[in-house]
Amino acid sequence: MSQDRAITVRAAGVVVMRHSEHGAQFLAVHRPSRKDWSLPKGKMDQGEHIVATAIRECEEETGLRVALACPLPSQTYLAMGRPKIVNYWNARMVSDAGFVPDDEVDEITWVSVHEAGSVLTYEHDVALVVSASVIPVTSPLILLRHAKAMKRADYSGSIDALRPLSGKGRSQAKALIPILDAFGIANVHSSPSTCCVDTVRRFARANDLPLHEEPALSEEGHAANPDRAAERMRALVSKPGPVVVCSHRPVMPTLIAALAAETGLSVSLPELDARLSPAEMIVVHRSFDARGVRTVAIERHGLGSDAD
């Protein structure tokens, strides 16, 4: 196999669910070139993050703007002789700009889950729909390490909390916008340190959201009273609504321990490794009921070249 043919093709898709008087339904798309019924999905553009791919492809194919919920099993297969990985997420509809048929997708329809096997062309898509249909409604909490800050050795100021982002860090903050948007984040909380505030400020401004500063989650606040930082984190975990919490690497072990304690998780889970790179995040999909909050799924995302 040539080097070009061995390059893995990355793609992403969604299972958009809704509840109607007819029960749980999902959105299916018809592709005239393949004469099949499948799920909204498509290839990742160069430089695009995989979660942004899922959002973009759904909007392009169906006119629906969605927010990602729990990750679903990925699909791996050969496409035109090249390995292909398609990542999927459960998704909820945010807005509808209207469907416009084209050569890629000429028809869309809402289908009852129990009819998935008779409508969808591929068994693996049926399995995805079944998996998505049993997942409870969730709300994401994103624990984010701030983007790359200016090196301490290069900073001439006397107050470290005012040390700004580096040039790369500013680029990372910009790149975070479509990722946070993909999860429908509506609440922004941050350490008041400049590097944290500037990591999420552009996202907050782009979405007209208030930015809530959390002194307890700063390095200084945590060093003075780690119990207070843990208490504040538990409160944010227990509050419904899509939220991002931006803090510092030295604070992460305390915040992750509080998160785990509040949701009954083990801090030894690989997904909860506190050693986050700049602009790397842990996404916790929480469900809420009369018994409290629990974690349904966890995923990690960074800004590496592989967009994972």
Sequence ranges of the domains in the chain: 3-133, 139-301
In this prediction, residue 78 carries a pLDDT of 86
Average pLDDT over residues 143-169: 95
In this prediction, residue 79 carries a pLDDT of 82
Banded model confidence at residue 305, pLDDT cuts 50, 70, 90? very low
Nearest to 51 by CA among 11, 100, 21, 18: 11
Residue 4 has pLDDT above 70, yes or no: no
Count the alpha carbons within 13 Å of 208 in the hemisphere toward its beta carbon: 0
Residue 30 has pLDDT above 70, yes or no: yes
Q: What is the pTM of this model?
A: 0.94
Inter-residue contact 63 to 100 (CB < 8 Å): yes
- Tell me the backbone φ, ψ of residue 263, rounded to 5 degrees: -110, 5
Among the four given CATH numbers 3.40.50.300, 3.40.50.1240, 3.30.590.20, 1.25.40.80, the one describing domain 139-301: 3.40.50.1240
Residue 51 has pLDDT above 60, yes or no: yes
Residue 16 has pLDDT above 90, yes or no: yes
226-242 burial: b if 16+ Cβ within 10 Å, else e: beebbebbbebbeeeeb
Banded model confidence at residue 211, pLDDT cuts 50, 70, 90? very high
Average pLDDT over residues 158-165: 95
Banded model confidence at residue 59, pLDDT cuts 50, 70, 90? very high
In this prediction, residue 32 carries a pLDDT of 97
Encoded tokens for 30 = 């018809």
pLDDT, mean over the chain: 95
Average pLDDT over residues 65-72: 98
The dotted CATH code for 3-133 is 3.90.79.10
- Chain segment 81-114, per-residue pLDDT in tens: 889 999 999 999 999 999 999 999 999 999 999 9
pLDDT > 70 fraction of the chain, expressed in percent and rounded: 96
Residue 52 has pLDDT above 80, yes or no: yes
